[in-house]
Amino acid sequence: MIPRAAGYYFSQEITRKFFHANNLKMMCRGQQYVEKVTQIMLRLIHVQGYSLEQCGLVTTICSSPDYLGKMKNVGAVFEIDDSLNMN
């Protein structure tokens, strides 16, 4: 369970099984700001406004730049074409 009891962490194997069972190719999730993440993910979100997880299967987009006026993070948007290419 995630420390603030608001969700769960899953392994890449569980993610792949979920994708297969639900015929998914990718998942994109929005987050205002991610406080408790790995340092690599935190750096990516701050620098580019998003991070790719689970070998690119799951993308987290930071939807709120400079969260609470003190985080100095970047926000992002995605364009996804019919072939699931992200721009």
pLDDT given at position 43: 61
pLDDT string in tens for the chain (87-residue length): 555 566 667 788 999 999 999 999 888 887 755 555 555 565 666 667 777 778 888 888 877 777 777 777 777 877 888 887 777
CB 63, CB 70: distance < 8 Å: no
Closest CA to 75 of 53, 35, 52, 47: 47
pLDDT given at position 86: 73
DSSP letter for each residue of 19-51? HHHTT-S-EEEEES---SS-HHHHHHHHHHSEE
How far from chain centre, in Å, is Cα 12?
14
Domain parsing of the chain, residue ranges: 12-69
pLDDT given at position 62: 79
Q: Which residues of 11-26 are buried (b: 16+ CB within 10 A; e: fewer)?
A: eeeebeeebeeeeeee
The overall pTM is greater than 0.75: no
